[in-house]
């Protein structure tokens, strides 16, 4: 099936290849994959470029041309056709020039020229498109700018031929225009390469920026999360430490308050006791002093034969029994000190052998015999 399509396309295109005529594009235009502006773009033809015109669709609105290594369709309003050794604007000479009429069979045409194109596999869709737009392809439209340029070129070529009548200058003019066209084509190709390079650099830069920005954002988010978690942990630790310090302080304050309350209560009780019982303390002290004196008087007197020797030591006061001191903390300190008797040193006489009362202010000397008795010592007063 594919081989038969190729053979049919070769048969259809063979006459047009033999009848190809030179032409010129007036302004920059696009070469399409079919006779219509809705077909995919095959290539861009700059203004002034030379093309080969293989024929035009019925109505001469679109023509089948080849440019460089590409094949496609260009609107006739952008073409100049070689007629009688000079180029004329094609829409103005369609009735004069015998332009070959060629058909457009999408399947065979695309199989011959567009098999490697990305839109080739959608030829069924484009077949439907061509069926619905076929009537529009036969309607010729004129671009005013392109028509003005083409007619001016036709007029200039006609004037030049009339004045000179020689093909040499026309050929030179054509060669100059071709050289200009070539230079312009080269400049356009260079510009297109620069644009493609710039686009590639822009895409690479955008990809690098996007990757770097995403990495920076991820790193920033991780740093923020880590720092925030550390701050939260530190804050919780500080709060726990502060709570512990507050608990400790509260316990210390409670203990101080308890201690202060107890001390205040004791001091208050002491103050009450000192304020209420000064007379009781004085009476108790007086009673104790009287009891001490009575105990001293109640001692037995020594007998005649048991009289102690008189000591040469100075007489000492009788010992006063221990008198209970008033509780200074429970009474007025000044009153208690004033009511206390002065302490007196007393040394009770030691009784001599045989019993009897002691002699006050007398110290025994020797074996303790009776005064004047055998073995008795001399008494010294």
Q: Which two tokens stand for residue 225?
A: 């999360």
Enumerate the β-bridge partners of residue 31. 43
pLDDT of residue 4: 46
Assign 170 a pLDDT band (cuts: 50, 70, 90): low
Instruction: Say how many residues make up the chain.
Output: 381
In this prediction, residues 355-381 reach a mean pLDDT of 42
Question: How far, in Å, CA of 327 to CA of 141, rounded?
Answer: 138
Q: What percentage of residues in the chain have a pLDDT greater than 70?
A: 68
Mean pLDDT across the chain: 75
Burial class, 227, CB count within 10 angstroms (exposed 0-12 / middle 13-18 / buried 19+): exposed
Burial 110-142 (b: 16+ CB within 10 A, else e): bbbbbeeeeeeeebeebeebbeeeeeebeebee
What digits encode the pLDDT tens for the residues 346-363?
444 444 444 444 444 444
Greater confidence (10 vs 209) lies with: 209
Q: What is the rounded CA–CA span in Å between residue 309 and residue 369?
A: 8
Q: Give the CATH number of domain 2-165; options: 3.90.1150.10, 3.90.1720.10, 3.40.50.2300, 2.30.30.40.
A: 2.30.30.40
Residues near 324 by beta carbon (within 8 Å), at least 6 away in sequence: 284, 285, 288
Structure tokens at 138: 């036969």
195 or 371, higher pLDDT: 195
What are the pLDDT digits (tens) for 299-318? 665 555 554 554 444 444 54
E-assigned strands of the chain? 21-25, 29-32, 41-45, 50-56, 62-67, 70-75, 79-83, 86-89
Pairwise pLDDT comparison (312 vs 162), residue with the higher score? 162
What is the spatial distance between Cα 107 and Cα 2, in angstroms, rounded to a whole number?
10
pLDDT at 140: 79
Q: Is the pLDDT of residue 205 over 80?
A: yes
Average pLDDT over residues 72-84: 91
Q: What is the pLDDT of residue 349?
A: 44
Q: What percent of the chain has pLDDT over 90?
A: 31
Mean pLDDT of 85-105: 87
**Residue 149 scores a pLDDT above 60:** yes
The helix (H) or strand (E) run that includes residue 53 is strand 50-56
pTM comes to 0.41
Q: Which two three-digit tokens encode residue 189?
A: 């190709």
Q: Is the pLDDT of residue 165 over 80?
A: no
What confidence score (pLDDT) does residue 372 get? 43
For residue 171, what pLDDT is reported? 62
What is the pLDDT, as a whole number, of residue 286?
85
pLDDT digits (tens, 9 = 90+) for 108-122: 999 999 988 999 988
In the chain, domain spans: 2-165
> Average pLDDT of 231-242?
93
Least confident of 9-13, 40-44, 147-151, 299-303: 9-13
Q: In what order do the strands lie in the sheet with 41-45?
A: 41-45, 29-32, 70-75, 62-67, 50-56, 21-25, 79-83, 86-89
The mean pLDDT of 230-249, rounded to a whole number, is: 93
The answer to whether residue 36 scores a pLDDT higher than 60 is: yes
CA distances 74 to 118, 123, 352, Å, are 21, 20, 168
Model pLDDT for residues 269-291, shown as the tens digit of each residue:
777 766 666 666 677 778 888 88
């Amino acid at each position: 099936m594919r081989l038969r399509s190729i053979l049919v396309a070769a048969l259809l295109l063979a006459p047009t290849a033999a009848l190809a005529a030179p032409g010129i594009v007036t302004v920059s235009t696009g070469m399409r994959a079919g006779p219509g502006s809705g077909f995919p773009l095959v290539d861009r033809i700059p203004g002034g470029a030379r093309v080969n015109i293989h024929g035009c669709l019925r109505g001469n609105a679109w023509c089948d041309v080849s440019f460089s290594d590409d094949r496609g369709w260009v609107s006739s309003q952008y073409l100049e056709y070689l007629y009688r050794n000079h180029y004329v604007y094609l829409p103005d000479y369609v009735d004069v020039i015998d332009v070959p009429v060629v058909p457009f069979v999408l399947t065979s045409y695309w199989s011959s020229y567009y098999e490697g194109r990305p839109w080739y596999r959608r030829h069924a869709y484009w077949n439907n498109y061509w069926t619905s737009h076929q009537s529009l392809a036969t309607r010729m439209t004129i671009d005013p700018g392109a028509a003005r340029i083409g007619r001016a070129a036709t007029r200039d070529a006609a004037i030049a031929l009339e004045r000179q009548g020689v093909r040499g200058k026309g050929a030179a003019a054509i060669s100059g225009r071709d050289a200009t066209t070539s230079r312009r084509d080269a400049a356009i190709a260079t510009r297109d390469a620069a644009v493609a390079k710039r686009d590639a650099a822009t895409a690479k830069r955008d990809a690098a920026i996007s990757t770097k920005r995403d990495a920076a954002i991820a790193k920033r988010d991780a740093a923020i999360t880590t720092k925030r978690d550390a701050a939260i942990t530190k804050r919780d630790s500080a709060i726990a430490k502060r709570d512990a310090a507050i608990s400790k302080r509260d316990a210390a304050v409670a203990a101080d308050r308890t201690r202060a309350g107890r001390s205040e209560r004791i001091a208050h009780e002491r103050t009450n006791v000192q304020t209420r019982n000064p007379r009781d303390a004085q009476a108790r002290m007086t009673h104790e002093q009287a009891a001490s004196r009575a105990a001293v008087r109640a001692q037995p007197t020594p007998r005649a034969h048991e009289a102690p020797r008189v000591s040469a030591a100075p007489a000492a006061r009788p010992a006063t029994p221990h008198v209970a001191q008033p509780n200074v903390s429970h009474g007025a300190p000044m009153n208690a000190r004033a009511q206390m008797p002065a302490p007196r040193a007393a040394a009770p006489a030691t009784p001599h052998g045989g019993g009897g009362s002691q002699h006050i202010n007398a110290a025994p000397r020797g074996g303790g015999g009776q005064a004047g008795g055998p073995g008795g010592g001399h008494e010294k007063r």
